[in-house]
Chain A
Amino acid sequence: MTDTVTTDDTEIESVESFRQRARTWIRANLGPATGRGFGGMSDEEELAEMDRQRKLQRQLFDAGFAGICVPKEYGGQGLTPAHNDAFNAEISGFDYPSMLQVPNMTPCMAVILEFGSHEQKMKHVPPILKGEHYWIQYLSEPSSGSDAAGAQTMATRDGDEWLLNGSKIWSSGAWRADYGLTLARTNADVPKHRGLGVFLVPAHAPGIEMHRIEMLSGGNEFCQEFFTDVRIPESERLGDVDDGWTIGIRWLYFERSFALSPYLIRPSGGGEAFATPDGALVRLARKAGRLDDPVARDMIGEVRADSLVAGFAQRRIGQGMRTGYLTDQGAALSRLLSGVNATRSSTVAFDIAGPSAVAWEDDDGDIGGRGIGFLSRQAAQIGGGTTEMARNVISERVLGMPRERDNSRDLPFREVPKGPSNR
């Protein structure tokens, strides 16, 4: 028998009872955390791992642990963020479908849940929770990164369908995705924020040509897509016609505040202390023979402090937005924090590794190749919205400071000045 508590006239399982149930199930059914990311995998290996994780997601679904905060009618558990927090504490140290979290559960599923019609949610949410559909974002464009509302991909109405033409970029993992949440321009004769639409697009729909982008680190997770007359039915468009930016604002909010999302599995317990970058730094310093170096020890302590602080700061930011202490745009604080912490820990790892970071032998293992990570250090302050944008948002939308001049705001989109690089 399970304990229940009553909220809003609905009986739901108490957090403690849920925690016990989750603990029992996790221990009986899940292996230890693999710590595996997709770095260094061949495409075949990555697809195989993706497939394994889809099955893991299905296992969660069948056991009643998928979509803890998603309404029951869409395949979720209809519980609260506190239940999700409890689950995140319990799953700490265990295997979970880490590759299916961001951007799949949020921003993509979060946007569909907030703006989808009942039919759209019935169609798209359960397959996500079962691990059958993996979603990515068709958001950034070659001509607009930070200025997401400046999208130039055109969506032209054709009877009951829309024809999409243009290009999307930085869609991480698009090559192995099933669907892309797509922002496109539905009307270029009105100001940019008033002529957008959000479409639910099969990632490999006819008319989409996809390229992999080779990054300076050698990775090729990011993709660029060219859309030529991609046909999407009107039933696969979210919200009101031309009102896509209402959705876009929330989409960016979900992107910035992913660390606070109740839709994610993010192990949070002390059990995974050594999966954290700072735990890894101790091992790195030992291997590099620098664990007794006071400078190295100071830097490790600094990164450790930053990461402990970040946990509490993220919670405070989330709580602040719920209570009205911060505006919703406080999510930008969350984004800024994760960006600056990531670049700092990358720098510290590089410093501690010593000369092996830039020239290494195969058997240098962990120490070798830290330079490659350091070369792409800034990715953490670019992807998911630059930290400059986050600082603009914090100063303007949290601290109420004057907005930057915007030469595009009131002009019909067609007439907005464009430079040689974004024509």
Chain B
Amino acid sequence: MCQMLNVEDGVELELTSDQEFFAETTRKFLEDKTPVSELRAKRNDPAGFEPAYWTQGAELGWTSLLVSEEDGGGSISGRPLADLMLVAFEFGNHAAPGPLVPASIVAGALSRAGSAEQKAGPLAEILSGEAVGSWAFGEPRPHDGFGEVTVTAEVDGDSVRLNGAKAPVESAAQAKYILVTARTGEGLTQVLVPTDAAGVTVTPMKSVDLTRHFAKVSLDNVALPVSAVVGEVGGAAGDVDWQTQVAILLELNEMVGAMDRAFKMTHEWSFDRYSFGRPLASYQELKHRFADMKLWLEASHAITDGAAKAVEDGDPEAWDLLSAAKAYVGHYGPELMHDCVQMHGGIGVTFEHDMHLYLRRVVLGSRLYGSVGDHRERLTASLEKKEEAA
């Protein structure tokens, strides 16, 4: 049964009543636990979030949506990705802290491909929020092209050996487990690495976001029992593909959530702020820019929802839609945010004003999991392929 959202909410135009209740619960929790004062207070906190906050979030269902019921998870509506996107939207909308992106992916990956042992141990800990799991996919320069994997996983008898470096890895300094995507010959292998394993070095990095923090993870001859491999040795390409899709969708929804908040704040401001005896909202030049921003915002919502649905449905066009979304939102997201800053004038570039909290989230998302240019190139290559096939 569908009920319409009221016009104040922008995420999906049609939600089930269970989804609406779920989103509302997360919204209220975030408003309560992470008001902007709390975000500011976490400015210099190395983790950016309290362990108790994360376990409470896990109790609300944040970590379990992509995990099957047999593995202790479960979705709200039977469409797990759609449900998770509601959480990600609220995260962006509140510039919320916490390892939502990596924890969701690692939990989902373990449920998809993990062994019984991995499910009983690490997955259960990640589900409850007791442990943080993170995904190490991207690599530092000069291997920082989207999708590039040079870390090696060599299997030798009963053990697997990892070498190389990963960055940026979200919440790596707080993580107990890191799912490392590595290369074995021509294929990809994923290994669940405990961060206290010998040869693992985690070096915190600086980030544009106030609370989402990253680290570099160096893997120097890290030797683990082969039971640490998640899925098939050399056969993880399909899992990595799914994880990348989910990561892009999470970033997109966080961005759209943050854009939505910034647009509302700026819309309100345009009525409250007077210059030359009239509100900013009465100036045609500014009105026209609001019209453009409204279009970018609605279009960003639309393609993000469309891409999520395509991934969930296993639509063969899903990658094209993901790339279209990442290219579009990656470009117009920062444009919209900077226009919102501009409309605020000087106060828009201060630390005191809230705008930067959302600006940070959008800018971060625009660069993670493929830049605008990376995704435009993918779209062109895909068109080329279709044209050749036709």
Least distance between A386 CB and chain B CB atoms (Å): 11
> Contact at B303–A388, with CB atoms within 8 Å?
no
Given contacts A298-B373, A304-B320, A394-B295, 20 further A-B contacts (CB under 8 A): A279-B387, A281-B383, A282-B380, A282-B384, A301-B379, A301-B380, A305-B327, A305-B379, A308-B303, A309-B302, A309-B328, A310-B299, A312-B302, A316-B302, A325-B4, A332-B291, A333-B291, A391-B287, A391-B292, A402-B281
> Contact at B377–A316, with CB atoms within 8 Å?
no
* Stretch touching chain B among A214-222, A270-278, A411-419: A270-278
> Contact at B279–A333, with CB atoms within 8 Å?
no
Partner of A304, one of B290, B295, B324, B325: B324
Q: Which A residue's beta carbon lies closest to that of B281? A: A401
Interface residues of chain A: helix, strand, loop or mixed (majority): helix
> Contact at B317–A312, with CB atoms within 8 Å?
no
Within 8 A of A (CB), among B10-39: 10, 13-14
B321 contacts across to A, CB distance below 8 A: 308, 312
For the complex, what is the distance from the CA of A278 to the CA of B373, rounded to whole Å? 16
For the complex, what is the distance from the CA of A274 to the CA of B388, rounded to whole Å? 11
Q: Which A residue's beta carbon lies closest to that of B271? A: A401
For the complex, what is the distance from the CA of A325 to the CA of B12, rounded to whole Å? 11
Q: Which B residue's beta carbon lies closest to that of A334? A: B295
Within 8 A of B (CB), among A315-352: 315-317, 319-320, 323-325, 332-333, 336-337
Least distance between B198 CB and chain A CB atoms (Å): 43
Q: Which A residue's beta carbon lies closest to that of B387? A: A282
Contact with A along B286-324 (1 / 0, CB 8 A): 011011101100110111011000000000010011011
A270 contacts across to B, CB distance below 8 A: 317
A302 on the B face (CB < 8 A): yes
Partner of B306, one of A302, A312, A332: A312
B299 contacts across to A, CB distance below 8 A: 309-310, 312-313, 316, 337
B112 on the A face (CB < 8 A): no
Within 8 A of B (CB), among A7-28: none
Contact with A along B260-273 (1 / 0, CB 8 A): 00000001001100
> Contact at B291–A390, with CB atoms within 8 Å?
yes
Partner of A399, one of B13, B267, B301, B390: B267
For the complex, what is the distance from the CA of A418 to the CA of B84, rounded to whole Å? 58
For the complex, what is the distance from the CA of A263 to the CA of B288, rounded to whole Å? 31
B42 on the A face (CB < 8 A): no
> Contact at B292–A316, with CB atoms within 8 Å?
no
Least distance between B316 CB and chain A CB atoms (Å): 9
> Contact at A324–B383, with CB atoms within 8 Å?
no
For the complex, what is the distance from the CA of A24 to the CA of B67, rounded to whole Å? 42
Which 8 A-B residue pairings sit nearest by Cβ, starting from the closest? Answer: A301-B376, A395-B287, A316-B302, A394-B291, A391-B291, A308-B324, A312-B306, A313-B299
* B interface residues, Cβ below 8 angstroms from A: 4-5, 7, 10, 13-14, 267, 270-271, 278-279, 281-282, 284, 287-288, 290-292, 294-295, 298-299, 301-303, 305-306, 317, 320-321, 323-325, 327-328, 331, 373, 375-380, 383-384, 386-387, 390
B387 contacts across to A, CB distance below 8 A: 274, 279, 282-283
> Contact at B298–A323, with CB atoms within 8 Å?
no
B14 contacts across to A, CB distance below 8 A: 319, 323
> Contact at B303–A291, with CB atoms within 8 Å?
no
A336 contacts across to B, CB distance below 8 A: 291-292, 295
B292 contacts across to A, CB distance below 8 A: 336, 391
Contact with B along A229-257 (1 / 0, CB 8 A): 00000000000000000000000000000
A404 on the B face (CB < 8 A): yes
CB contact under 8 A between A333 and B298, given known A273-B386, A309-B324, A325-B7: yes
Most chain A CB within a 10 A radius of its CB, from B303, B375, B380: B380
> Contact at A395–B302, with CB atoms within 8 Å?
no
For the complex, what is the distance from the CA of A317 to the CA of B306, rounded to whole Å? 13
A398 on the B face (CB < 8 A): yes
Least distance between A156 CB and chain B CB atoms (Å): 37
Least distance between A129 CB and chain B CB atoms (Å): 32
Least distance between B313 CB and chain A CB atoms (Å): 14
20 A-B Cβ contacts within 8 A? A298-B376, A302-B327, A304-B376, A305-B328, A309-B302, A309-B324, A309-B325, A316-B298, A316-B305, A323-B4, A325-B4, A325-B7, A337-B299, A388-B288, A391-B287, A394-B291, A395-B281, A398-B294, A401-B270, A401-B281
B301 contacts across to A, CB distance below 8 A: 316
For the complex, what is the distance from the CA of A316 to the CA of B390, rounded to whole Å? 30
> Contact at A308–B320, with CB atoms within 8 Å?
yes
Q: Which A residue's beta carbon lies closest to that of B384? A: A282
A268 on the B face (CB < 8 A): no
> Contact at B376–A391, with CB atoms within 8 Å?
no
> Contact at B383–A300, with CB atoms within 8 Å?
yes
For the complex, what is the distance from the CA of A320 to the CA of B297, rounded to whole Å? 13
For the complex, what is the distance from the CA of A300 to the CA of B377, rounded to whole Å? 8
A90 on the B face (CB < 8 A): no
> Contact at A301–B327, with CB atoms within 8 Å?
yes
For the complex, what is the distance from the CA of A320 to the CA of B317, rounded to whole Å? 24
A147 on the B face (CB < 8 A): no
Q: Which A residue's beta carbon lies closest to that of B378? A: A301
A315 contacts across to B, CB distance below 8 A: 302
For the complex, what is the distance from the CA of A166 to the CA of B328, rounded to whole Å? 46
B284 contacts across to A, CB distance below 8 A: 392, 404
For the complex, what is the distance from the CA of A298 to the CA of B372, rounded to whole Å? 9
Contact with B along A378-410 (1 / 0, CB 8 A): 000000000010111011101101101000000
A274 contacts across to B, CB distance below 8 A: 386-387, 390
For the complex, what is the distance from the CA of A274 to the CA of B387, rounded to whole Å? 7
A85 on the B face (CB < 8 A): no
A306 on the B face (CB < 8 A): yes
